[in-house]
Structure 1
């Protein structure tokens, strides 16, 4: 097995289905030229502006300037740092990205931007994911932070609107990278994203976690407030952003938990950035942010967060069991039944999955679940009557495994409308409420769908169309230039012929820059400006 195949084999099955083969042979000579151009400029500009570990980090993680990195070579190097990487097709769900990162696995978009988008691409690509995220991992403390912030993002509760926004962003990126897309299709994709953003009822935990990630791992600065250095992947992978971010046009703010409440616009350069004192500072801010989440606080706060999210999440009970489902109703007790908990009953919409330590205890239950808060014991079988301190009274017949039928109940003497059949759980406390299913693997096995969205068909089709859009004669010129570069067999007269032939493609400045470099010339200011 190759190093990458070994990495993939170690992943849980529900994550493996988002992984694709890198297919290194599919990168065209023009793709390689795009990589060379970007990495050459980035290395030159960032040598004294990025965190000191940057240049050695490129070497330590298998990223060179001459060719698009092989994930096998990267995995050989990353394994020495306690990390690994896999190829994915463009955008993947945030929960998948954060879970991979928490496991110490970089999700690297297999595609590379076109030369038209060499300065900025609306879609994830191998430049950003490898040359941006990987180098600073060479610093052990920062590598620990990436795993920690990944776990926080994974545990944060996302809303149904967050999911709609993600799908709209992914759709827009695919459309914009497709050379056959019409103006009407692009406008429709942009309108869809605007509508998804407008649909937000509130700012979710997941959104706040993504902002924290953005202002640190993606667009973070470090060191002295007046003379900071760059460590964020978004800045390290964009020459335009890297130059702009250190100018006086960008307001530098000390990093604090307030960054999680600061929105950002991915379509333009950032007017402000946050500066961390050092990498230890990242952990201080992360700990403060983490303490506000339902994952850490549980109780009423967690229940309310899950209720308004309208998504599948999981409750952690006092005995360690985890109940996965969608919270759809809360009944208040009118008094505290435990510290931070004044709810008498929570109703979850099925399917319901019971687990412990992230491992399913049985098959999913198709009906509803009720979580009653207070001291009490449900018999394994037979008729029961439970009277809890919250003034909740439940009666019914237990048929085994926590399943009850013929259920009725009152709260403070008021008759309740309850499902006649349900899975019933009793717990004195609610230590945690966290995002997504507690056992993602089992949940995915039963309810995951391998559809076109998951498979990345949209990205694959856009990539194929990009390749088809390249004129055969232009592709042949790039191929020859790449061969000359790799063999070192410079033929001045042939380079002169290629230079003349390149004038047939006036918008393709990159080929002319490649030829000019081989001929020992300096590219024109206009051509350099495109970078």
Structure 2
């Protein structure tokens, strides 16, 4: 598959600050770009009740994301700061790891300052403003998840000293991007990569194909993942407190070392000690081979 990454820069491009932030310049978005946001928002928000976590749905209401058009960060940040002390900052595209961690550690969430085209409606490799703001920001209105994200950023900065970036990336992927939570007598979505995807919102909860496994920190940090299609594993937390607890109460240095001495766990493998909630058929992935 040909890469669709177009918002990648080796250094901050013209108009961006040394920390890679740039003005949102909300007035520069076109009517077509606002219409794309509205099209995506209506489609996703209609299917998420009963699928998305309570924290995510509360965040939509608290932040008033139902207002038409791409959110103006001047208004959005006033509500987000009041809720949890976080704010959204615009960036021109993907930012370096250290910069990303620093923003999170200081309760700033970097959001790509562009939106997908109609041709990219259902699949986009790089995070746009819809993925970043609709997918991520509602969870940042939850105090517990907001603290987890700050702790993750602080831990990410420390991880750079231990050559453990890949392990931290897996934790982010399987929680912030593609996490599931036990809630309401079943499973719900809180990961941004799922809630911002119409097709994966159905697949993650309703398909027989993927494994759904109870969350275990060390196991997650060794597990490879898919970047080009639906996930073959989803990890399930019991509550948002679980994420925060393991992040702030774990000494990561010996965990990094122990994991580094072990091979990565291939996508779709089930281990003897796993809490298997759903053993998937993997039919979807096998059908792509």
Q: Under a length normalisation based on structure 2, what TM-score does the superposition of the two structures give?
A: 0.77
Pick from 230, 235, 251 the counterpart of residue 189 of structure 2. 230
Structure 1 residues 218, 47: closer, same or farther in 2, change over 3 A?
Answer: same
Pick from 239, 252, 259 the counterpart of residue 220 of structure 2. 259
Alignment of 1:16-31 (within 5 A): 16-31=18-33
CA distance in 1, matches of 2:185, 2:225: 22
Unaligned runs of 5+ in 2: 1-15, 261-289
Aligned-residue offset at 1:262: 0.6
Contact 1:60 1:138 in 2 (8 A): yes
**1:219-272 C-alpha deviation (Å, 9 max, x unpaired):** 111015982111111111111211111022221100001111111121111011
Unaligned runs of 5+ in 1: 1-13, 160-203, 306-531
Pick from 182, 195, 214 the counterpart of residue 173 of structure 2. 214
CA distance in 2, matches of 1:106, 1:269: 25
CA distance in 2, matches of 1:104, 1:47: 28
Pick from 185, 200, 209 the counterpart of residue 249 of structure 1. 209
Q: 1:270 matched to which residue of 2?
A: 231
Contact 2:226 2:232 in 1 (8 A): no
Q: 1:79 matched to which residue of 2?
A: 81
Matched, 1:147 2:150: yes
CA distance in 2, matches of 1:87, 1:158: 28
Alignment of 1:392-407 (within 5 A): none
Alignment of 1:472-487 (within 5 A): none
CA distance in 2, matches of 1:62, 1:109: 20
More strand by share: 1
Matched, 1:92 2:95: yes
Aligned-residue offset at 1:16: 5.0
Aligned-residue offset at 1:23: 1.8
Matched, 1:123 2:126: yes
DSSP-derived class of the 1:22 partner: coil
DSSP-derived class of the 2:39 partner: helix
CA distance in 1, matches of 2:196, 2:28: 22
Q: 1:108 matched to which residue of 2?
A: 111
Aligned-residue offset at 1:142: 1.1
Alignment of 1:329-340 (within 5 A): none
Q: Under a length normalisation based on structure 1, what TM-score does the superposition of the two structures give?
A: 0.43
Q: Which has the higher contact order (CA 8 A, sep 6+)?
A: 2
In the alignment of these two chains, the number of paired residues is: 240
Q: 1:177 matched to which residue of 2?
A: none
CA distance in 2, matches of 1:285, 1:292: 10
Contact 1:97 1:107 in 2 (8 A): yes
RMSD between superposed Cα atoms in Å: 2.4
DSSP-derived class of the 2:155 partner: helix
4+ residue runs over 4 A deviation: none
Q: 1:133 matched to which residue of 2?
A: 136
CA distance in 2, matches of 1:65, 1:271: 35
CA distance in 2, matches of 1:27, 1:261: 41
Larger radius of gyration between Structure 1 and Structure 2: 1
DSSP-derived class of the 1:245 partner: helix
Pick from 169, 193, 205 the counterpart of residue 164 of structure 2. 205
DSSP-derived class of the 2:146 partner: helix
Q: 1:280 matched to which residue of 2?
A: 241
CA distance in 2, matches of 1:143, 1:137: 5
